[in-house]
Amino acid sequence: MNERPSVPADNHDAEPDATRPDPISPTTDLDDPALYLNRELTWLAFNHRVLHEAADPRTPLLERVKFLAIVSNNLDEFFMKRIGGLKQQIAAGMIKTSVDGRTPVAQIEACQAVCRELHAKQKQVWDRLIPQLADQGIRIVRVADLPPATHELLREYFGTDIFPILTPLAMDPAHPFPFISNLALNLLVTLRFPGADETHMARVKVPVAKDISKRLIAVDGGRTFVTLDDLMIDNLDQLFPGMEIESCARFRVTRNAIVEPSEEAASDLLEMIETELRERHFAPIVRLEVEQGMDPVHRGMLAAELGLNEDEDVFETEGMLAMRDLLELAALDIPELHDEPHHPVEHPLLVKDRRNIFHIIRENGPLLLQHPYQPFATTVERFIDTAAEDPKVLAIKMTLYRTSAEGKILDSLTRASRNGKQVAVLVELKARFDEAANIRWARRLEAEGIHVNYGVLGLKTHCKLIFVVRRDYAQLRRYYHIGTGNYHSGTSKLYTDLGILGCDEDLGQDITELFNYITGYSPPHYRKALVAPYRMKQAILEWIRREIHHQEAGREGHIQIKMNALEDVDITRALYEASRAGVRVDLIIRDTCRFRPDIPGLSESARVVSIVGRFLEHARILYFHNGGDEVYYIGSADMMQRNLENRVEVHAPVEDSALRQELRLILDAQLADQRSAWDMQPDGTYRQRRPDDDSTKGVQEILIGVAKRRLVAASRHKEKKIRSRLIGHFQRRLRSNKESG
């Protein structure tokens, strides 16, 4: 069905050498640690691919700035979650090696080495972007270099809008070392009284906050900016009048985000999460960043006061600290420096049919939703909004992992409750970095009389479900939405996700039993749904083994998995066994991936592709050829141990032939991509594919066009024909890629 694309012979900006695993033994022993790539290092390698988008001249200029900022933000979260977790393992005395043969100490050392390389490359990319931005009139300048009149206006602004907020904190024997907030930018100021020899130190927090100030301050309302920290440095004489400023250097700290009390010991889960959030504020520090040129004595003092190893945990940064703030620059409204605006197009079956959406689903069968190519508002939000108002709807149940105040989801649930419907919502309080928001949503819903549940003890509820019970004629019918992404109107515009609207009786019964299990204690029995942690992993392993049996019996064995991550060791091992048996294995994995393709005698029939583009790839698809009786599933779970064993996840079958064709088109288009695709090499590094023509579009741009063409074809009742033509087109490209290779 799908042929393997060629891999360019030259290496296009491969990852740092520190990410490369040890060479494998020729025996291809599946217990060999070298076969299993490290989870942390492969995630850092993904960030190298993101950084490449910032360096790629084919990417519009302000989009390049955006990618640079995203890498900075990702590294912050990496230290908070992954390095923080490894440091906890060390503190607990854990010396057990990971499947790739590394102890926690060895993993931290390897990760820190890669992070230092990434920091250096960030600086190189930023240095190349600065003159290109200047060519467009966009500059970040030093306050001291501005004309006197502009300088004086900024000084007045500082005195009226910034100075009253600042609180310099002395650092001496009479004053304890001040608390340093996570990820906040700080100034370390050294000063003395006039004529005195003794120096004093003070810390001043740079107040970058939504209600106070952005990091970048526009000068004269144009495209010239100064940083807030530079403005503060230029006005230290106002903060310390009469004092002599000896030096000033920026620094910031990163704190561990892994603070998880035992749920079994907690009498109230919401109260436990609130306690965790307070403790996280004071969590141990795992990284100190200082600007280049800071006095070594001051650097050592900070490291000692913060309890860090100066050689390992201190990162000296040349140039701008906290590059995540460059998102402010990337948000400039200069259309010619951005990607072409993307306007989602309506679902072909919903665009002109303003009937009750439940009638459309019942009469047309299941609908496959593709975000961001189709709008969230007129699909998912329309579904739940209709449920809130429809007098025949009796009950609504849903899971909330992450959501937003801007969308209509919460308002629809509130209206449904006020309209007398039974409404139950499972709010996952343990969604990392969204705990505080989810507590607010939970309390808001409870105040409206909605039944709020916090899930199953010991498990995170990560599945994406909306369940509606409606009286259709003389019977009750179950309708549902099952998705791969969160019910979040913001990320629905930025992430690629899939969802199904349907009313299949067996699947509806499965979801009924799942909600009864989540909100109560009813033991579930599932007919079609794959549900973790109960049977999902076991079923996937069985299906992989089934492909091996098909291959050994002379039938084509073929597995395709599109995921964010492939980390589970058992799944990885089973995929090696399948590939060794000759089963074709296509893995479209966005970031973390333990599997190594194209190893002689083991994984020669396998390939690993990573797609990096303007949208974050987030959809999850499982495909098994199954001797011609094909199996397609979509859902919420990545192939990670935590998802398969410690979370409530749902994958749903896609049985409708037209919907399967849509999934086939997505898979074929991504495997044929020649702009956004990176091929993993046998050593675990990646090479970006390069087309002959630099104007070649990436798969996401192609799918934007596909959505538009499908809508036009639907208006002419030719959607089936255009879908078949597109599938044929991408399969021909796959064959052509193989032949040209």
Tell me if 207 sits within 8 A of 156, measured CB to CB. no
Q: Are 329 and 370 in the same domain? A: no
pLDDT at res. 727: 73
* pLDDT surpasses 70 at 739: no
Residues 553 and 449 both lie in one domain: no
Residue range 87-104: mean pLDDT, rounded = 91
Q: Are residues 291 and 238 in the same domain?
A: yes
Query: What pLDDT score does 6 carry?
Result: 37
Residues 43 and 592: beta-carbon distance below 8 Å: yes
Question: Does 75 fall in a domain?
Answer: no
Residue 125 has pLDDT above 70, yes or no: yes
Residues 277 and 230 in one domain: yes
Q: Are 431 and 402 in contact (CB under 8 A)?
A: yes
> What CATH code is carried by the domain that includes residue 414?
3.30.870.10
Question: What pLDDT sits at residue 353?
Answer: 86
Give residue 266's pLDDT: 46
Q: What's the pLDDT at 4?
A: 37
pLDDT for residue 726: 72
CATH number, residue 321: 3.30.1840.10
What is the per-residue pLDDT across 448-465, written as a single tens digit (0 to 9) for each?
Answer: 999 999 878 888 999 999
Tokens 């990096």 label which residue? Answer: 612
Given a cut of 60, whether residue 12 has pLDDT beyond it is no
Q: How far is CA 554 from CA 209, 541, 550, 551, 625, in A?
A: 63, 20, 6, 5, 13
Higher pLDDT pick, 669 / 730 = 669
Task: State the pLDDT at residue 139.
Answer: 96
pLDDT at 164 over 80: yes
The letter for the amino acid at 52 is: H
Q: What is the pLDDT of residue 5?
A: 38
Tell me which of 119, 347, 462, 488 is the catalytic residue: 462
Give how many domains the chain has, as a whole number. 3
**What percent of the chain is modeled with pLDDT above 70?**
91
Peptide bond before residue 194 is cis, with ω within 30 degrees of 0? no
Asked whether residue 23 is assigned to any structural domain, the reply reads no
User: What separation in angstroms does the CA of 103 have from each of 81, 87, 95, 97?
Assistant: 17, 11, 6, 4
Q: How far is CA 534 from the centre of its chain?
A: 26
22 part of a folded domain: no
- Measured CA to CA, the distance from residue 398 to residue 456 in angstroms comes to 15
Mean pLDDT score, 695-704: 93
Per-residue pLDDT at 710 = 85
Residues 111 and 135 in one domain: yes
3-state secondary structure of 388: helix
* 377-427 tens-digit pLDDT: 999 999 999 999 999 999 999 999 988 877 799 999 999 999 999 999 999
Mean pLDDT within 512-520: 89
Least confident of 153-167, 277-291, 553-567: 277-291
Do 123 and 318 contact (CB within 8 A), yes or no? yes
Tokens of 101: 């043969």
Among 492, 522, 552, the domain boundary falls at: 522
- Looking from the CA of 687 toward its CB, the CA atoms found within 13 Å total 15
Residues 547 and 516 in one domain: no
> Does 8 map to a domain?
no
At 70 the three-state DSSP class reads: helix
Residue 585 has pLDDT above 80, yes or no: yes
CB 204 within 8 A of CB 252: no
* CB contact set of 513 (below 8 Å; sequence gap of 6+): 522, 524, 525, 526
Q: Taking residues 507-517, what's their average pLDDT?
A: 95
Same domain, 536 and 635: yes
**What's the pLDDT band for 688 if we cut at 50, 70, 90?**
very high
Residue 65, in any domain of the structure: no
Tell me, yes or no, whether 591 and 517 share the same domain.
Answer: no
Question: Is residue 695 very low, low, confident or very high in pLDDT (cuts 50, 70, 90)?
Answer: confident
Rounded Cα distance between 257 and 557, Å, is: 43
**Helical residues (DSSP H) of 136-268, grouped into ranges:** 148-157, 228-234, 236-239
Q: Lowest-confidence range among 77-81, 247-251, 669-673, 711-715?
A: 711-715
Examine the domain organization and report whether 505 and 620 are in the same domain.
no
First-to-last C-alpha distance (Å) of the chain: 18
- Residue 22's pLDDT band, with cuts at 50, 70 and 90, is low
Residue 20 lies in a domain: no
Of 522, 552, 571, the residue at which a domain comes to its end is 522
d(CA 377, CA 381) in angstroms, rounded, equals: 5
Q: What is the mean pLDDT of residues 325-354?
A: 94
According to the model, what pLDDT value does residue 692 have? 82
Mean pLDDT of 137-147: 96
What's the pTM? 0.92
* pLDDT confidence band for 371 (50 / 70 / 90): very high
- pLDDT for 568 beyond 60: yes
347 annotated active-site: no
CA atoms of 375 and 361, how far apart (whole Å): 17
What value does the mean pLDDT take over residues 483-505? Answer: 96
pLDDT digits (tens, 9 = 90+) for 647-686: 999 999 999 999 999 999 999 999 999 999 999 999 999 9
Give the CB-side neighbour count of residue 229, counting CA atoms within 13 A.
24
Residues 614 and 688 in one domain: yes
Q: What is the pLDDT of residue 588?
A: 98
**Integer angstrom CA distances of residue 453 from 366, 461, 520:** 28, 11, 9
Residues 374 and 281 in one domain: no
- Percent of all residues in the chain with a pLDDT value above 90, rounded to a whole number: 77
Q: Calculate helix-pair angle for 380-389, 357-364, nearest 10 degrees.
A: 120
Q: Is the pLDDT of residue 1 over 50?
A: no
pLDDT given for residue 713 in this prediction: 77
Residue 496 predicted with pLDDT over 80:
yes
What's the pLDDT band for 197 if we cut at 50, 70, 90? confident
Classify the phi-psi angles of 353: left when phi > 0, otherwise alpha if psi is within -120 to 50, otherwise beta: beta
| Comparison of pLDDT for 4 and 64, the residue scoring more | 64
Write out the residue range of the structural domain in which residue 372 sits. Answer: 357-522
Rounded to the nearest 10°, the torsion over CA 596, 600, 601, 605 is 60
Over residues 241-257, mean pLDDT? 94
Q: What is the pLDDT of residue 265?
A: 46
Residues 190, 414: Cα–Cα separation, whole Å:
55
Strand, coil or helix: 103? coil
Mean pLDDT across the chain? 91
In a domain, 120, yes or no: yes
Contacts of 313 (CB under 8 A, 6+ apart): 285, 286, 287, 288, 303
pLDDT at 8: 37
| Whether residue 475 sits in one domain with residue 361 | yes
The predicted pLDDT at position 268 comes to 61
Does residue 92 belong to any structural domain of this protein? no
Boundary of a domain, candidates 522, 543, 573:
522
Has residue 578 got a pLDDT over 50?
Answer: yes
Residue-level pLDDT at 2: 41
256-293: per-residue pLDDT in tens? Answer: 987 665 554 445 666 666 676 677 777 899 999 999 99
The answer, yes or no, to whether residue 16 has pLDDT greater than 70, is no
Report how far residue 736's alpha carbon sits from residue 732's, in angstroms, rounded to the nearest whole number: 6
Tell me the one-letter amino acid at 185: L
